[in-house]
Structure 1
């Protein structure tokens, strides 16, 4: 039986304390590969805590890849390889596909739609007026090229509190969204350098790199994410990843795979990882998954974040944290570029974060998405064995494999005729596979559709198939 000491007076929840203790046992070698963890009931009785507390801790360990589940047997420790600890322009427009006729949908299940009603309009207006009143004419002067220092400090503090990241504000760049920052970043690498990307991937990032004539090597995924063995066989120097919640498949990259890729990047001086921390705030079970940046001992991870998904797309404010070496290269090559985000917008976001409004907004929005996530899963049960749900418990969409006997495109067209907007996984593949005979896969979002409409929309869809 496993015996650990838990502090019932601590502000840290008991399940989080238990998760940290067991994780440390694994990392320190006190629990090794193949060791079976005590049953949830047995450990709960031994530690005199609820079984639910043990269950939450185990689920977090499983989500991060420290343990595996064997059906009708229990939780077993995975192999976790240790790494060294401690850390000692030409921007081009992005091509987008536009439909000549905009279709109005009754049920919008797009994975890109956000909850519009949750935006704190009154608070944003109040902070805007406050910044204009207090900042005066200073906010209409040119600011720092990397973005206002106070905003970078506020983001750094938030990342430390919420993501466990220690980042220096001076290593951060503020930009007009992810697209701008990726274009800026691409200019820091030699034109001959090959980029590797997950396949399927976040297609906007792929379009950015390909529009800049960058050679891209697609790497397929397995149940743990990007395949390291395929990456090793390429000449790629830079790899773009969404490890916390892979877009679009919803995979969470376990700790062992993360360490394998960190080992790969540490082998050569010019190798780097672009970590797009996609949808990391919206996790509905357990703790947020720690970023790769948090365990990067060789200073090779470029960390990318945006407020477009958590506040509103129109905010157009993102940030990028450079490793020290790349920061120096940025200063030598691109420091002349002014920050494209208006200073008044930077000031409002700063007040929004510093005043605790951003954290409250995230908590409120997470509850809304959690309710919609649960409503969608419940509604999808009407399909029975015809579907298989993946990528749940995080983000703003579910991955649904459909065994309807017809192709993905046919499903989408039939749904479209019924006023239902659906997106297929194939739209996010770099390599177009022959889908003949393959199960159709849909990305069903719940960001901007209420629980009642979710039920109605899925009922309508169910009648079609």
Structure 2
């Protein structure tokens, strides 16, 4: 492959390294460069294309940061398996923030203060005394796209007219809703018009807004265990709530039918906390349930961007022919919790009902923040950020799985590992859930028992099970946390 020919245009606006990068991305996306193929060395490719080696290095670095290729020490660059990788068709600008995501975490290593941080780690315990926290919320340290976000913020404020500081459209800026609709169609198979989208500061607000649209005389079903925040939200709204059993394919539709519910809240792409990915047949059964009477499905697609095995199944909403699915999405999981920008796709008739009422609520996200996010989506930054994050999280995901297989195979089993940023571990050495949590805590490690996510009065679907999140932990912390869990649960020395 050293004689590879890439047509480069020295007069084009795009830099040469970006043209090289785009060539390889297209070849990989369209399958002409298969996973495992070795790319030419940067020296060989530079000589063949008559460009500087630094130009090729920039292109390779960008491809690595976006998850298209990997650098194998002493061997070279190899094409990655991009199954599940997100790539869209958004307009691109010069990628001056190349590698600013996943590489930033690695860049922290080796700094003088890092050595001191490791030496004094015991003094950095959280307020409850934990040194290592397998947290279920948050993002990887150093992964926020500072460069792109800072530049877009500056551009938005520089170009701002007085109208930017007025209230704006109560549903959210139309241009942002157009960008979200385009992204959802490409990445999740969601079919909607921008006019069906409501933008809000977090899912709690959007669920409250949904209550004003549907009215309080509703009976809603939720899986058990489930996302407790949503369970409490529906309780605060005055909905009558009930729980439904789930199996290895997700919610039990026959059990749902017996509840008399006219609404159901599900997370088919990656159920929290069980990690179940609902197969297509079960999704179609759920849609069939919704088609009988005035029933609605709330589909929470909270972390569908992260999938590590198999091709992602399109969103449930994409199969809905009768306008029964209310789709919820958020940028908090993929960008940062503090962004607080979520969106809800309503069936057209529900949106008409909302807009026909008096005085729709003002949008709870500033117009400036909406404009920044719109540009982040349209200019290709979100695509690149997702690919960096998926590559970063997959490395941590694989590290956890290697530990579970190689060191803990006789102590526990695991599941829910194919998507999201957490997995479940079931102890099979006689430890109860409480004992597993307490033994880990004695060694300064926080893990989360499955029973914490049960609806009051319900029993867990399986015993001795804990959840391990891996998004927020640097890899060196993850490795140390794993060592301590091994000692805690298998009775060995650290």
Cα distance in 1, alignment partners of residues 476 and 185 from structure 2: 37
Tell me whether 1:235 sits opposite 2:260 in the alignment: yes
Question: Matched residues in 1 for 2:187 and 2:381: separation?
Answer: 14
Listed as ranges, the gaps of 5+ residues in structure 1 are 1-7, 17-54, 60-100
Pick the aligned partner of 1:190 from 215, 219, 238: 215
1:308 aligns to what SS in structure 2? coil
* TM-score using structure 2 length: 0.72
Alignment correspondent of 2:312: 288
Match of 1:337 in 2: 361
Distance 1:236 1:457 in 2: 43
Are 1:299 and 2:323 an aligned pair? yes
| Residues in 1 aligned to 2:182 and 2:458: alpha-carbon distance in whole angstroms | 44
Which residue of 368, 376, 392 corresponds with 1:368?
392
Of residues 336, 349, 352, the one that matches 2:376 is: 352
Which digits, 9 at most, give the CA deviation of each residue in 1:131-178, with x for residues without a partner?
000123221111100000010001111111111222100010000011
Name the CA shift for 1:107/1:325 in 2 (closer, same or farther; >3 Å).
same
Tell me the distance in 1 between the aligned counterparts of 2:392 and 2:208: 33
| Residue equivalent to 1:72 | none
SS in 2 for 1:135: coil
Matches within 5 A, 1:56-455: 102-268=127-293, 270-333=294-357, 335-381=359-405, 382-433=407-458, 439-455=463-479
In the alignment, the residues of structure 1 paired with residue 364 and residue 207 of structure 2 have an alpha-carbon distance, to the nearest angstrom, of 14
- Map Cα deviations across residues 227-273 of structure 1 (whole Å, 9 max, x no partner): 000111121111001001111111111111111110010111x2000
Secondary structure of the structure 1 residue equivalent to 2:423: strand
Is the alpha carbon distance of 1:135 and 1:252 closer, same or farther for their aligned partners in structure 2, counting shifts above 3 Å? same
Distance in 2 between the 1:245 and 1:315 partners?
A: 22
Cα distance change on mapping 1:132 and 1:374 into 2, 3 Å:
same
In our comparison, the structure showing a higher alpha carbon Rg is: 2
Distance 1:440-1:348 versus aligned 2 partners, 3 A rule: same
Q: 2: distance between equivalents of 1:372 and 1:300?
A: 37
Q: Which deviates more from structure 2 when the two are superposed, residues 328-337 or residues 299-308?
A: 328-337
TM-score by length of 1: 0.77
**Mean Cα displacement is larger for which, 212-221 or 238-247?**
212-221
CA contact (8 A) 1:199 1:221 kept: yes
SS of 2:269's equivalent in the other structure is coil
8 Å Cα contact 2:354/2:360 also seen in 1: no
Tell me by how many angstroms 1:105 deviates.
Answer: 2.7
For the residues of structure 1 that align with 2:32 and 2:279, how far apart are their CA atoms? 23
Alpha-carbon separation, structure 2, partners of 1:415 and 1:150: 48
1:422/1:443 contact within 8 Å kept: yes
**Partner residue of 2:102?**
none
Deviation >6 Å, runs of 4+? none
CA distance in 1, matches of 2:352, 2:227: 28
Gaps of 5+ in 2: 1-25, 35-80, 85-125, 490-494
User: Which residue is equivalent to 2:96?
Assistant: none
- Encode CA deviations 1:357-378: one digit per residue, 9 max, x unaligned: 0110000000000000000111
TM superposition shift of 1:104 = 4.9
User: What's the RMSD between the two structures over aligned residues?
Assistant: 2.5
